[in-house]
Structure 1
Amino acid sequence: MTCTSTQQIAYAKVNFSLEVGQAQDDGMHLICSKMATIALSDELELTRLDDHSLSIYSILWHEDAPLTSEIDWPLKSDLTVRAHLELEKAVGRKLPVQMKLLKRIPVGGGLAGGSADAAAMLRAVVAMFDLDVELAPIASKLGSDVPFLITGGTANVAGMGEQVTPLAFETVHLLLIIPSYSCSTAEVFKAFDGLGEPQKTDNGNDLMQAAFTVEHRLAIDFEAMMELTGLTIHLSGSGSTMFAICDNAEQAKKLAERIQKETTLVAIATHTCAP
């Protein structure tokens, strides 16, 4: 059954672990990661247009976004728009929609905001047009995080992101620490290739040293957050967002308030979620 309008929540993710293999002949890397979706999210609003209309796309920051930056990329390169275009290509016809994307997930923070939005677009359009189409191949074309984010929850993700093994969900309280600067995924992987064999770290992310190489401020803030919180600090994806696992929601909330008060970093208390 088709619908004329719908809303999808696009949940961010964190990497509890991230192992990265050496570059293959095509320059791509195989990964093995434990990922989980978290409560921080974007909102995707779609309205179906008549069959002869052109699709309309808009991207805005939500009024309660923890950290904003300039939305300065071309719409046609946005992953959400690309997801829509790939879906049209897969079914061989136009699927006209009006899209309004309200963002909360910081850009370039390793939280897979763009991938979450792309996954939300795929889910929404399939439901809106009652399409019989396999989403996994389309998701894999869009990025290594998108296949996992189609369903979210907690999973082991391997290969190029296409191998998703769901795990039992458990609520984990998190302190999320968001710098004002971002890390380019491409630059971090380039630095990773230049480092040779990955250096294993206590925080379980093979990209950490590469991210520090690309963005020296991250290394400084990382050490400062370990000292301030007394917790193990983790890096999500290729950065720049850091996080710590907390005992409960109250601990996460108090630490976030302290970081906001004593530093220039943005910090929020959040938790894992199963959409």
Structure 2
Amino acid sequence: MNAQNAHADVFRTRVYAKVNLVLGVGPRDDLNGLHPICSWMHAIDVCDKIEIRKVPEQQESEYVVVWAQGDGSVVPVEWAIADDLGVRAHKVVEEYVGRQLAISLRVLKSIPAGGGLGGGSADAAGVLMGINELFSLKLGHQTLVKLAMKLGSDIPFFLDPGRSVPRPAIVEGFGDQITRLDSGHAGTLITLIMPAFGCHTGKVYRVFDAMVGSEHTLDKDRVVQLASQRLRDESALFNDLAKPACTVVPELNEVRDAFEKATGRVIHVSGSGSTLFVIGEIDPRLIKQACPNCSVVKTQLC
């Protein structure tokens, strides 16, 4: 987290989106209903901004979560504030320490929602680390991970102590087993293609369950091998949720096919969708031809 504390009562940071360069998914665990994964995750240079201020203890906490617009204005997010992952992270810490931690939280969002880029998870991680620092709670890393897992399995990836940006990692288990990698790919250009619709993660996993048979296994060795090859073969990248996502939202498959035909490139799905990505750049004319209504962001791995 790139924390910039101008005052002891204020915590400011930027939190970064991620892409799943590779994502393997195993069958649902019968005990907890979750799916084990093995994923090569990498932060990208698209970020939200978080500001947390202490307020008097007798005062109610205040939350403002808004979308940043290109003209400098903001608009409210389309979900209930109580459901926001950053807000829920604050509540989880209060519950853990057993006392009120009165704050004013402002989140200025630029990471698209519902796109598989982990914006809500990044916000939650930023809030967990920010409150821990702001109130000198001295919660250890493993405690923060346990609190994060109550909220979502992507959040532990973003908890990388002492780092302005989370290092790339092999993420295993239910998201709680993190093996950090070097950032040898930092600066690699990546183009994000964001359709004007999202993919519901729960629905994607339910279709995944229906599509895979009992013989399906989680191929961890393949994920680790691809991460060690340093993007030498872009076409070898894979995502076990790509086909289910394209089944849940057939328009995603149409957009993906259109881009592959227009560019001759392999177009990948990040996470459970709907964001697509390609390593490197795409000719803007081809983008307009393939999907006039898609938003496109040229960024880089970081």
* Contact 1:260-1:266 at 8 Å conserved across structures: no
- 2:48 aligns with one of 42, 47, 58: 42
Q: Which residue of 2 aligns with 1:266?
A: 295
* Contact 1:259-1:266 at 8 Å conserved across structures: no
Q: Distance in 2 between matches of 1:191 and 1:261?
A: 31
1:104 aligns with 2:104: no
Q: Which residue of 2 aligns with 1:166?
A: 180
**Structure 2 unaligned residues grouped into runs of 5+:** 161-165, 220-234
Q: Distance in 2 between matches of 1:51 and 1:69?
A: 29
Deviations 1:165-198 (A, max 9, x none): 0001022210100000000000000110110246
Q: Which moved more, 1:254-263 or 1:228-237?
A: 254-263
Deviations 1:246-267 (A, max 9, x none): 1xxxxx2x53575257622111
Change (3 A) 1:257 1:267: farther
Q: Distance in 2 between matches of 1:8 and 1:184?
A: 28
1:140 aligns with 2:149: yes
Q: Which residue of 2 aligns with 1:210?
A: 244
Q: Which residue of 1 aligns with 2:283?
A: 255
Letter in 1 for 2:83: S
Q: Which moved more, 1:73-82 or 1:13-22?
A: 73-82
- 2:96 aligns with one of 60, 67, 90: 90
Q: Which residue of 1 aligns with 2:228?
A: none
Q: Distance in 2 between matches of 1:29 and 1:54?
A: 38
Deviations 1:34-69 (A, max 9, x none): 00111111111111101111100011111239xx99
State how many pairs are aligned.
265
Q: TM-score, normalised by structure 1?
A: 0.90
| Structure 2 SS opposite 1:94 | coil
* Contact 1:203-1:233 at 8 Å conserved across structures: no
In the TM superposition, what is the alpha-carbon distance from 1:4 to its structure 2 partner? 1.1
In the TM superposition, what is the alpha-carbon distance from 1:10 to its structure 2 partner? 1.4
Aligned-pair RMSD on alpha carbons? 2.3
Q: Which residue of 1 aligns with 2:256?
A: 222
Change (3 A) 1:107 1:69: farther
Q: Which residue of 1 aligns with 2:58?
A: 52
Of all paired residues, the percent bearing the same amino acid is: 37
Q: Distance in 2 between matches of 1:130 and 1:256?
A: 48
Letter in 1 for 2:295: V
Q: Which moved more, 1:260-269 or 1:199-208?
A: 199-208
Q: TM-score, normalised by structure 2?
A: 0.82
* Contact 1:8-1:120 at 8 Å conserved across structures: yes
Change (3 A) 1:239 1:70: farther
In the TM superposition, what is the alpha-carbon distance from 1:150 to its structure 2 partner? 1.4
Q: Distance in 2 between matches of 1:216 and 1:271?
A: 28
Deviations 1:210-246 (A, max 9, x none): 0011000000111111122322211100000000111
Q: Distance in 2 between matches of 1:84 and 1:268?
A: 30
Q: Which residue of 2 aligns with 1:117?
A: 123
* Contact 2:190-2:277 at 8 Å conserved across structures: yes
Q: Distance in 1 between matches of 2:206 and 2:274?
A: 16
| Structure 2 SS opposite 1:142 | coil
Q: Distance in 2 between matches of 1:260 and 1:220?
A: 15
Q: Distance in 1 between matches of 2:128 and 2:284?
A: 34
* Contact 2:66-2:76 at 8 Å conserved across structures: no
* Contact 1:12-1:113 at 8 Å conserved across structures: yes
| Structure 2 SS opposite 1:210 | helix
